[in-house]
């Protein structure tokens, strides 16, 4: 019982933190609709937390559900930040 309470409180704090971090990061790198992306990340994590606390599902399903929002946001962030220049064959991209 005490462990479940700790996990619930930690999960709610982490959910709020993920929302804030994602919103700030999406605004900083100019990802469109930062509130939507923050909601997707925090919502997926909250659903994963709910599955852990209230359902009897395999742990792999809980982990995959909780990480889905972060993975999708990572893909969107990469697309926004990619360079428009075509790749040069035989060379590595320059690091700034």
Q: Is residue 61 part of a domain?
A: yes
Q: Is residue 92 part of a domain?
A: no
Pairwise CA distance, residues 39 & 20, whole Å: 10
Residues 6+ apart with CB under 8 A from 15: 42, 45, 46, 49
Does the global pTM surpass 0.75?
yes
Count of structural domains within the chain: 1
Q: What is the pLDDT of residues 56-86, one digit of tens each?
A: 889 999 999 999 999 999 999 998 888 777 7
Q: Is residue 69 part of a domain?
A: yes
Q: Is residue 95 part of a domain?
A: no
Q: What is the pLDDT of residues 1-35, one digit of tens each?
A: 888 899 899 999 999 999 999 999 999 998 999 99
User: Domain residues for 56?
Assistant: 2-80
pLDDT at 17: 96
């Amino acid at each position: 019982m005490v462990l479940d309470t700790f996990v619930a409180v930690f999960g709610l704090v982490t959910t709020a933190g993920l929302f804030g971090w994602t919103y700030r990061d999406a605004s900083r790198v100019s990802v469109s609709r930062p509130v939507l992306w923050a909601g997707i990340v925090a919502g997926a994590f909250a659903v994963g937390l709910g599955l852990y606390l209230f359902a009897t599902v395999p742990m792999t399903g809980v982990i995959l559900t909780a990480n889905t929002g972060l993975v999708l946001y990572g893909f969107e962030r990469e697309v926004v930040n990619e360079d428009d220049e075509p790749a040069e064959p035989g060379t590595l991209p320059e690091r700034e």
